[in-house]
Structure formats: C-alpha cells, structure tokens
Amino acid sequence: MSFNSSAQQYLSTVNGTSSTSAYGSSSSMPAINLDEEIRLTTNNRERAQMDNMADLYSIIVVLEHLELAYIRNAVVHTEYTPACTQLIAQYRAASSLLGDVAPDLERFMKEYNLNCPAAAKRIRIGVPATVEFGDGGRSTESTNGRVSARLVAEVVSHFHTTVDYLRIGMAAVDQLHPSLADLMKSLNNVRSLPADFEGRAKILKWLIKLNGMGASDELSAEDRRQMEFDMESTFASFMNWLESS
C-alpha cells in the first residue's frame, strides 16, 4: 500500500467514511470522536499511581525553581531553608507511595524530559544548600576571633550522638540521617572553619549515601564501621583545628 493510500484511509477513518485501498477493496471503520476523553488508567489503583507520579514531577520542577532562585539571591536563606526541606520531604513521601514502581530519579527525569539538574542534586544530597554550605549569614562567633563555646559544644554534641548511634548498632537511615544533617549544619555555623576542611566532604558523602536509601533501610556492618571511622577521624581533625586556632 502506498503512502498516499494509507493517508487517505486514515483521513477517511477520522471522517467516518469508507475508503478504497490500492488493491481496490473497500473497508468501513467506525468514526473517531475527537472530543472523547482518552483514559490513561483503567482503575483507581492506576489513577492513584498516575497522580503520585504527577506530584513527583511537580515537586522536582518547583525545587529546581527554588534552587535557582536561591543561587540568584532572589530568596533569602530564612525562606529558602524550610521550603527546600519541605520539598525534599514531599519528594521522599511521594516516592514511598509509589512503592515498588517508584522510578529511579535519573530515569524518571529522562523519561519525562525533565531538565532539572539543581533539583536532582539537592534530592540526592537530601539537605538544603544552607546545610551543605552554610547560610552565608553573619557569624555568631565572638568578635575576639575565638570560636564561640556554644558552637563548639553543638558540634561536639552532634559528633558524639552520631558515633554513639553507630556504636550501639543503630543503622537505619531514619535514625542516622537527621543526626548527620544536624552535624553538618553545626559545622557550617562555625564560620572560621576553613572552607577546605576535609571533614565536610566525608559527612556529605554519607548524607548522599543515606539519602539514596529508603527510610527503613539499614547500613551494612561494613558501612557502619566505615562511617564510624570517618566520623571519628573528622572529629579528631576538628579538635586539632580548634586547638591551633
């Protein structure tokens, strides 16, 4: 059948008329109602799944705009931080509702042509940029150049909490991630801490790893041991810097 005859048959089908093929045979097909609603789902379960995937899509788009707005100084850190935290939590909640059909972030963005690199990075890390890098606000350290005792106490407390969790066998993501995020935030509050302080990279590595797991997932014994070692070495580096500052 030629292209023209195929096109003619298609047009006649849309118009509800019969057409003659290149071989002389006549066929009659039902008309297509262009105003008829096309159903993407066949039952309530599929509809709920489609709605959750739509939520996932919108959360990623909104988070991308929020990240770019913060980068361009169009939103202050006091507004950015809670909004970003909420969007990350909403993404995780929407993903969990999809269960076994929850798509991988990269695959989901590729399948639906989502170009949102800033949102993807923020979701992978699992904490706002103000926690990862600090909020860039005015230092709360004392003006005589010495680090505030309160800030040091916060850092030490979060270090001890995280390491204690690991030592007593707590390995679930929802147990370790909040403590680790608090530790990163407390470190960033110490403004005089060098930007290249190696402990930040170690903490960020574990934040990304934990954020890529489910809330009830647990670290393996090997990972737990490595994380404990990284936290202890980071704490030692922090104390060495503190003594020399």
Q: Per the domain annotation, does 226 fall within a domain? A: yes
| Lowest pLDDT segment from 53-67, 74-88, 102-116, 118-132 | 102-116
| Domain span including residue 99 | 44-132
Strand partners, 27: 19
Q: Per the domain annotation, does 199 fall within a domain? A: yes
Give CA–CA dist 245/236, Å, rounded. Answer: 14
Q: Could you tell me if 122 and 156 lie in one domain?
A: no
Predicted confidence at residue 63, as pLDDT, reads 96
Q: Could you tell me if 120 and 152 lie in one domain?
A: no
- Give the distance, in angstroms, between the CA of residue 233 and the centroid of all CA atoms in the same chain: 28
Give CA–CA dist 67/62, Å, rounded. Answer: 9
Q: What would the mean pLDDT of 114-128 be, rounded to a whole number?
A: 92
Q: Per the domain annotation, does 32 fall within a domain? A: no
Q: Per the domain annotation, does 2 fall within a domain? A: no
| Confidence at 11, pLDDT banded by 50, 70, 90 | very low
| C-alpha gyration radius of the chain | 27
Q: Per the domain annotation, does 27 fall within a domain? A: no
Q: Could you tell me if 151 and 128 lie in one domain?
A: no
Number of folded domains that form the chain: 2
Q: Per the domain annotation, does 155 fall within a domain? A: yes
| Confidence at 100, pLDDT banded by 50, 70, 90 | low
Residues 6 or more apart whose CB falls under 8 angstroms from that of 107 comprise: none
- pLDDT exceeds cutoff 80 at 111: yes
Q: What would the mean pLDDT of 17-30 be, rounded to a whole number?
A: 50
Residues 6 or more apart whose CB falls under 8 angstroms from that of 144 comprise: none
Q: Could you tell me if 110 and 154 lie in one domain?
A: no
- pLDDT exceeds cutoff 60 at 19: no
For the domain that residue 127 is a member of, what is the CATH number? Answer: 1.20.1440.200
Q: Could you tell me if 154 and 115 lie in one domain?
A: no
Last residue of some domain: 132, 152, 177? Answer: 132
Predicted confidence at residue 214, as pLDDT, reads 79
Q: What would the mean pLDDT of 115-139 be, rounded to a whole number?
A: 82
Give CA–CA dist 15/1, Å, rounded. Answer: 20
- pLDDT exceeds cutoff 80 at 38: no
